[in-house]
Structure 1
Amino acid sequence: MTTKRYVFLILILGSLSALGPFSIDMYLPGFLAIANDLHTTVARVSLSLSSFFIGISAGQLLYGPLLDRFGRKKPLYLGLILYVVASAGCLFIHSVDALIALRFVQAIGSCAAAVAAVAMVRDLFPIEDNAKVFSLLLLVLGASPMIAPTLGGYVIAGYGWQAVFLILMVLGTLILLATFFWLPESYKPDPSYSLKPKPILTRFWSVLREPQFFTYALAGAVTFSGLFAYVAGSAQVFMGIYQVSSQGYGWIFAFLSVGFIGSSQLNSVALRYYRSEQIVPVALLSQSIIGLLFLLSAGLGLLGLYSTIAFLFAFLCCLGFTNPNTSALSLAPFAHNAGSASALMGALQMGVGALASVAVSLFDSQSAIPMISIMAAAATGALMILLIGRRMIVRPVVESSQTEPVLH
Structure 2
Amino acid sequence: MNHADDSRAADKVPWGLVILLGALTAFAPMSIDMYLPSLPAIGADLRADAGLTQATVAAFLAGMAIGQFFYGPASDRLGRRGPILLGVTIYVLASIACSLVTSIEGLIAARFVQALGGCAGAVVARAVVRDRFNHTETARMLSLLTLVMGLAPVLAPLLGGAVLALGGWRANFIVLTLFGLAVGAAAFFRLPETRSEATAAHARTENPLQAYLALLGQRRLIGYALAGALNGATLFTYISASPELLIGTYGISPQAFGWVFGLNAAGLIGAGQVNRLVLRHRTPDQVLSAASLVAVGIAVLLLVAALTGLGGRWSVLPLLFLLLASYGFMQGNTMAGALNIDPLRAGSISALMGAASFATGAIASSATGAFHDGTPRPMAAAMFVALAGSALALRFLALPGRRQAAG
Deviation at 1:360, TM superposition (A): 2.2
Give me the whole-angstrom Cα distance separating, in 1, the residues matched to 2:135 and 2:332: 13
| Pair 1:209-2:217 in alignment | yes
Flag the 1:188–1:269 CA change in 2: closer, same or farther, 3 A: closer
Map of 2:3 onto structure 1: none
Deviation at 1:123, TM superposition (A): 0.9
SS at match of 2:343: coil
Flag the 1:168–1:211 CA change in 2: closer, same or farther, 3 A: same
* Percent identity of paired positions between Structure 1 and Structure 2: 38
In 2, are the aligned partners of 1:333 and 1:397 still within 8 Å (CA)? no
Give me the whole-angstrom Cα distance separating, in 2, the residues matched to 1:192 and 1:151: 44
Map of 1:76 onto structure 2: 84
Letter in 2 for 1:52: F
- Cα deviation, 1:238-280, whole Å, max 9, x if unaligned, reads 1111222222111110011111110110001111121111111
| Pair 1:35-2:43 in alignment | yes
Q: Which moved more, 1:229-238 or 1:117-126?
A: 117-126
- Cα deviation, 1:142-197, whole Å, max 9, x if unaligned, reads 101110011111211222111110000000000000000011011157377459xx
Give me the whole-angstrom Cα distance separating, in 1, the residues matched to 2:274 and 2:386: 23
Give me the whole-angstrom Cα distance separating, in 1, the residues matched to 2:341 and 2:404: 8
In 2, are the aligned partners of 1:194 and 1:200 still within 8 Å (CA)? no
| Pair 1:220-2:228 in alignment | yes
Letter in 2 for 1:293: L
Deviation at 1:211, TM superposition (A): 2.5
Q: CA RMSD in A?
A: 2.1
Give me the whole-angstrom Cα distance separating, in 1, the residues matched to 2:145 and 2:223: 23
SS at match of 2:207: helix
Q: Which moved more, 1:374-383 or 1:203-212?
A: 203-212
Give me the whole-angstrom Cα distance separating, in 2, the residues matched to 1:341 and 1:104: 22
Q: Give the TM-score normalised by the residue count of structure 2.
A: 0.92
Which residue, out of 328, 346, 350, partners 1:338?
346
| Pair 1:17-2:25 in alignment | yes
Which residue, out of 329, 336, 349, partners 1:328?
336
Number of equivalent positions: 396
SS at match of 1:367: coil
Q: Where do 1:4-403 residues align within 5 Å?
A: 6-187=14-195, 190=200, 193-194=203-204, 199-390=207-398, 393=401
Deviation at 1:66, TM superposition (A): 0.9
Give me the whole-angstrom Cα distance separating, in 2, the residues matched to 1:364 and 1:387: 32
Map of 1:405 onto structure 2: none
- Cα deviation, 1:348-376, whole Å, max 9, x if unaligned, reads 11111111122223234322211111111
Give me the whole-angstrom Cα distance separating, in 2, the residues matched to 1:267 and 1:191: 35
Deviation at 1:392, TM superposition (A): 5.0
In 2, are the aligned partners of 1:154 and 1:247 still within 8 Å (CA)? no
Q: Which moved more, 1:7-16 or 1:150-159?
A: 150-159
SS at match of 1:184: coil
In 2, are the aligned partners of 1:332 and 1:397 still within 8 Å (CA)? no
Q: Which moved more, 1:300-309 or 1:100-109?
A: 300-309
Map of 1:402 onto structure 2: none
Give me the whole-angstrom Cα distance separating, in 1, the residues matched to 2:405 and 2:222: 13
Give me the whole-angstrom Cα distance separating, in 2, the residues matched to 1:42 and 1:396: 51
Gaps of 5+ in 2: 1-8
Gaps of 5+ in 1: 399-408
Give me the whole-angstrom Cα distance separating, in 2, the residues matched to 1:393 and 1:178: 42
Letter in 1 for 2:224: Y
Deviation at 1:46, TM superposition (A): 1.4
In 2, are the aligned partners of 1:211 and 1:393 still within 8 Å (CA)? no
Give me the whole-angstrom Cα distance separating, in 2, the residues matched to 1:3 and 1:268: 11
Deviation at 1:101, TM superposition (A): 1.0
In 2, are the aligned partners of 1:124 and 1:186 still within 8 Å (CA)? yes
In 2, are the aligned partners of 1:136 and 1:265 still within 8 Å (CA)? yes
Give me the whole-angstrom Cα distance separating, in 2, the residues matched to 1:300 and 1:395: 38
Deviation at 1:217, TM superposition (A): 1.4
Deviation at 1:210, TM superposition (A): 2.1
* Greater helix content: 2
Map of 1:403 onto structure 2: none
SS at match of 1:180: helix
Deviation at 1:35, TM superposition (A): 1.5
Letter in 2 for 1:177: A
- Cα deviation, 1:87-122, whole Å, max 9, x if unaligned, reads 000111122211111111000000011101010001
Stretches (4+) displaced over 3 A? 1-5, 188-195, 390-398
Deviation at 1:44, TM superposition (A): 2.2
Letter in 2 for 1:109: G
SS at match of 1:337: helix
Letter in 1 for 2:214: S
- Cα deviation, 1:198-233, whole Å, max 9, x if unaligned, reads 832221121222232111111111111011100110
Deviation at 1:63, TM superposition (A): 0.9
In 1, are the aligned partners of 2:136 and 2:279 still within 8 Å (CA)? no
Flag the 1:289–1:5 CA change in 2: closer, same or farther, 3 A: closer
